[in-house]
Every structure is written in structure tokens, then in C-alpha cells.
Amino acid sequence: MSDVTLLLQSMERGEKDAPEELFTLVYDELRKLATLRMAREAAGNTLQATALVHEVWLRLFGSGQPPWRSRAHFFGAAAEAMRRILIERARAKRRLRRGGARERVPLENVTLATDDDSETVLAVHEALDRLAAQDELKSQIVKLRYFVGMTHDEIATTLGIAEPTVRRHWAFARSWLYAELKRELNR
């Protein structure tokens, strides 16, 4: 039986010094394992092998200690913990690249940029669906203007179009919506 297995058994029996002795004994091997794992990661990874080892240690022993059967079982669990940590970091980076750092706002805290009653808002929404079927860009401009309250400049920046184009489309969409809403409300 290896020293690691004996220390794992000591830990299971509740000996106080066993975790520190185990850490001292396995640290170099865990560091080598972490270095090998990190070498396979993409360039620019900011996680250091030492930090990975400490994170693994916390995961393995942070919330109680499972019964380790052997040295191989322990190192297998350590390797799996390293893999999961690296996957979690990769997913977090991907989320940030895809807008994951945006602040979430509860819907109850969102207000419309209009003081219209709910019937008018619903009528505008339905008319916008019809407008979107004809011209998606004009529909987007109305949504940003009516529901969000953006200015022409802000809409132009958001949609990546010229501000005069936004003004032209807004003028058309506003008169189109007026005619649609008048027809809808006169039914």
C-alpha cells in the first residue's frame, strides 16, 4: 500500500494531521498533473497550475471528504476535478464573449417609453408584427423608439445605419402605424 493510500485511510478515520500530510505528499504530483493539463489549454489561459491545484484541493476536500479507496482513486478524482474546472472556465469565457456580462433586469423593473394605455400598446404590438412582415428594419426602429425610448442617433448606432435613414424610416413607420391603428380602433 502506498503512503497516499495510508494517509487517505488515516483521514477516513478522522486523524487531524492526515490532510496536511497528504497535501504535502501529493502536491508535487498534482502540480505536474495540472501543468500537463494546462499545456493542452489554448494560449492566453490566465489560470496557473498552482491555482488549479488549490482549486482541485478545495473541490476534493471542501465540503467533506469522500471515502478514497486508493491512490489511483484519489488521483483519478483529482484529474476529473481539473477537467471540470477547465471546462467551467472555458464556458464562462464563451458566455462573456457572447454577451454574458450583460446585466439582467427583472421584467417588473422595465417600463415602456410611452404613457399609452395597455390597449394602445397591444394594438401597436400587433401592428408592428404586420409591419415586420413587410419591413423588418422599420419595425426594429419603431420598437427601439416606441418601447425603449431611444433617440434617432441611438437607434442609428444600435442598428449600424445612418441617422437620416432612421429619421426617414421612422417618419414612414409612424404614418403607417397611425393608419393601421386608426383602422384597428375603428373596427
Please give the Cα distance from 95 to 118 (Å, whole number).
Answer: 35
- CATH fold of 3-97 reads Rna Polymerase Sigma Factor; Chain: A (1.10.1740)
Whether this model's pTM surpasses 0.95: no
Please give the Cα distance from 102 to 87 (Å, whole number).
Answer: 21
Please give the Cα distance from 143 to 147 (Å, whole number).
Answer: 5
Does residue 121 carry a pLDDT above 60? yes
Does residue 166 carry a pLDDT above 90? yes
Region 161-179: mean pLDDT is 91
- The domain made up of 108-185 is a member of CATH 1.10.10.10: yes
Least confident of 12-21, 87-96, 142-151: 87-96
pLDDT score, position 110: 42
pLDDT score, position 7: 80
Q: What percent of the chain has pLDDT over 70?
A: 77
Domain limits of the chain? 3-97, 108-185
Does residue 109 carry a pLDDT above 50? no
Cα–Cα distances (Å) from 46 to 39, 50, 55, 86, 98, in that order, read 12, 12, 14, 11, 19
| Residue, of 138 and 111, whose pLDDT is higher | 138
Please give the Cα distance from 131 to 152 (Å, whole number).
Answer: 19
DSSP 8-state code for residue 135: -
Cα–Cα distances (Å) from 17 to 22, 38, 40, 177, in that order, read 9, 30, 35, 76
Largest pairwise CA distance in the chain: 89
Mean pLDDT across the chain: 77
Does residue 100 carry a pLDDT above 70? no
Q: Is 54 helix (H, G, I), strand (E, B) or coil?
A: helix
Let me know: does 7 contact 26? Beta carbons within 8 Å: no
pLDDT score, position 44: 59
Closest CA to 142 of 117, 166, 116, 111: 166
DSSP 8-state code for residue 108: G
Please give the Cα distance from 150 to 142 (Å, whole number).
Answer: 10
Q: How confident is the model at residue 112 (pLDDT cuts 50, 70, 90)?
A: very low
For the stretch 27-83, pLDDT in tens is 888 888 777 776 666 565 667 878 888 888 888 877 666 667 777 777 778 878 888
Does residue 105 carry a pLDDT above 70? no
Question: CA 121 from chain center: how many Å?
Answer: 32
Please give the Cα distance from 78 to 81 (Å, whole number).
Answer: 5
